[in-house]
Chains A and B, each alone.
Chain A
Amino acid sequence: MSFRIASSPHQHSQKTTSQLMLWVAGAALPAIAVQSYLFGYGVLIQLMLAISTAWACEALILAMRQKTILPRLRDHSALVTGLLLAVSIPPYAPWWLIIIGTAFAIIMVKQLYGGLGFNIFNPAMAAYVLLLIAFPVQMTQWLPPTTLQTYDLSLLDAVCAVFTQYSCQGYSIQQLQMGIDGMTMATPLDTARTDLTMGLTLPESFEKPIFSQGAGSGWLWLNVAWLLGGLVLIQQRVIQWRIPLSVLGSLALCSLIAWSINPDIHLSPIFQLFSGASMLAAFFIATDPVSASTTLKGRIYYGILIGVLVFCIRTYGGYPDAFAFAVLLANMAVPLIDYYTRPRTYGHKVKKGLL
């Protein structure tokens, strides 16, 4: 038996960065399958565009910084960034949107700060915010789920739609966005929000077909798939339970309070948890090991901050969903959270801190 002398930390996870990233990508597969079943082949096209752009940009910047390219590409962090951005944007968004977004994520948000491990912001979410601010129209053109679509889209149609914004039969994205009832559809969160501003109460709004299955047709299943993938990650100890639980818990608690006060204008906790990007963000985005808080206690505060921010922006803010903004704002708070939640050093007394 050999005794190795090594400095702390003494508890290691046996996984390398590359393995961790591959687990994340793998756990996202069920959700990607559900998303492409629900919204068509556009999702897969966006994924291919995003991942190839991410690899190209990463290689380009690594070459400019005179670093070794292949070993760093093999840590698969660029793959995960591209993947997360591709599943966040509308499946039939124009092709240049995802390319601009991924290039920004890799070049400006990740590599300019020093590469993997040095970025203070989550690259995928920073790019999402960039796209949302710069191209609000393209970033909101979500199609209704396939079950509610007027026109069926083949693979060829999907390619045409992404690259020309018209399907092969010549239907524009705006026409494709129309549901079976002839109304243009957005996401359930967006619809609920628009209806509230038009003076409808939520129970009235929920009679629309987009809400046909609880938390909005299709979106429920998508979130369940992300939840499953997330549970696999926790089981594999790729991520810890603290951040997802505190994000979802605080979001549920806030919405429960608001909902029990006035269910006419506040979404129910179940709807909040299983709509929009809730599960995707709680398990795959907020848990980014680089930009999230690093202390155990800090992760709980970090998650709570995200959950509360999401609730506030969804309810009182200007956007229907808010995870990108909430994650970026929480990223900014991470140095402060980490500072005040430093763990007690072995042999030292507990210091009475702020948190």
Chain B
Amino acid sequence: MTQPYKELAIQGLWKNNPGLVQLLGLCPLLAVTNTVTNALGLGVATLLVLLGSNLVVSAVRNWVPNEIRIPIFVMIIATFVTAIQLLMNAFTYQLYLALGIFIPLIVTNCAIIGRAEAFASKNPLIPSAIDAVMMGLGFAFVLLVLGAMRELLGQGTLFDGAEALLGEWATVLRIEVFSLDHYFLLALLPPGAFIGMGLLIAGKNAIDQRQQQRQQTEKAEITRARVTGTIA
């Protein structure tokens, strides 16, 4: 992978992660991450919409008048969301019911319009596609981690109801880590999502800080012992 593409990957997956750093698309992020299956479903849907919209926006970027670019972007995004919604209705009906209003609401996910505006409308086709995939993966990754955390704490399982997304064979994926007599409702309810999200962001910042400290100590070793003149 060449340098700019690598940079795009780092930006999307970690440094500028739409979920953890930009805090975009928080509404679906917090609302549907009560199980891994829901999180995965919405993550994949968002990724596909993001890929489609970034590709089209990038392809038409030279013909879109600057003044009305936002409505045009929203229409492009809405087209893809409608397509995804119909596909989910046809092939993963249970998941379609479980996610409900949050599928059409992908249109309003700021992460998608944000990428269209900030990246795809200024860059050629292939970087836009890679940016979309990386950003989408970063978003889906946060959804998955949060979903796993909440499902594990809330009902002690993982991949509960995965057959709704992946088909009948997926019932074997269901892992019962420990059995609870009483669901820990807080983890399944929205307040649990907020607390979990806060902990994830804190964790990411802690990792970044530790890395920064390590880099600083490495840099400190290189500095000269005697400095004459001004330091640039």
Give chain A's interface residues, CB within 8 Å of chain B.
108, 130, 133-138
Contacts and interface: CB of A to CB of B under 8 A. Distances in A.
B182 A133 contact: no
A134 B195 contact: no
B189 A133 contact: yes
B184 interface: yes
User: Which of A130, A134, A135, A136: most chain B Cβ within 10 A?
Assistant: A134
Main secondary structure of the interface of A (DSSP, over half): helix
Contacts, number: 16
16 contacts: A108-B195, A130-B186, A133-B185, A133-B186, A133-B189, A133-B191, A134-B184, A134-B185, A134-B186, A134-B187, A135-B182, A135-B184, A135-B185, A136-B185, A137-B182, A138-B182
A135 B181 CA distance: 11
Contacts of B195: 108
Nearest to A100: B184
A133 B182 CA distance: 13
Contacts of A137: 182
Nearest to B183: A134
A134 B189 CA distance: 9
Contacts of B184: 134-135
Contacts of A138: 182
A253 B186 CA distance: 35
Interface residues of B, number: 8
A136 B185 CA distance: 9
Nearest to B184: A134
A94 to B, nearest CB: 9
Contacts of B182: 135, 137-138
Contacts of A133: 185-186, 189, 191
B222 to A, nearest CB: 29
B196 to A, nearest CB: 11
B183 to A, nearest CB: 8
B21 to A, nearest CB: 20
Interface of B: 182, 184-187, 189, 191, 195
Nearest to A133: B186
Contacts of A134: 184-187
B198 to A, nearest CB: 9
Contacts of A130: 186
Nearest to A130: B186
B191 to A, nearest CB: 7
Give the most central of B186, B187, B189, B191: most A CB within 10 Å: B186
A135 B186 CA distance: 8
B229 to A, nearest CB: 40
A130 B184 CA distance: 10
A25 B151 CA distance: 39
A110 B32 CA distance: 29
A275 B122 CA distance: 66
A108 B187 CA distance: 14
Contacts of A135: 182, 184-185
Residue from B182, B185, B187 with most neighbouring chain A CB atoms (10 Å) = B182
Given A134-B186, A138-B182, 14 more contacts: A108-B195, A130-B186, A133-B185, A133-B186, A133-B189, A133-B191, A134-B184, A134-B185, A134-B187, A135-B182, A135-B184, A135-B185, A136-B185, A137-B182
A136 B184 CA distance: 10
Contacts of B186: 130, 133-134
A85 to B, nearest CB: 16
B213 to A, nearest CB: 15
A114 B12 CA distance: 32
Contacts of A108: 195
Contacts of B187: 134
A134 B185 CA distance: 4
A137 B185 CA distance: 11
Nearest to A97: B182
A242 to B, nearest CB: 32
A131 to B, nearest CB: 9
Most buried by B among A133, A136, A137, A138: A133
Which of B185, B187, B189: most chain A CB closer than 10 A?
Answer: B185
A135 B189 CA distance: 12
B167 to A, nearest CB: 33
Nearest to B182: A135
B14 to A, nearest CB: 24
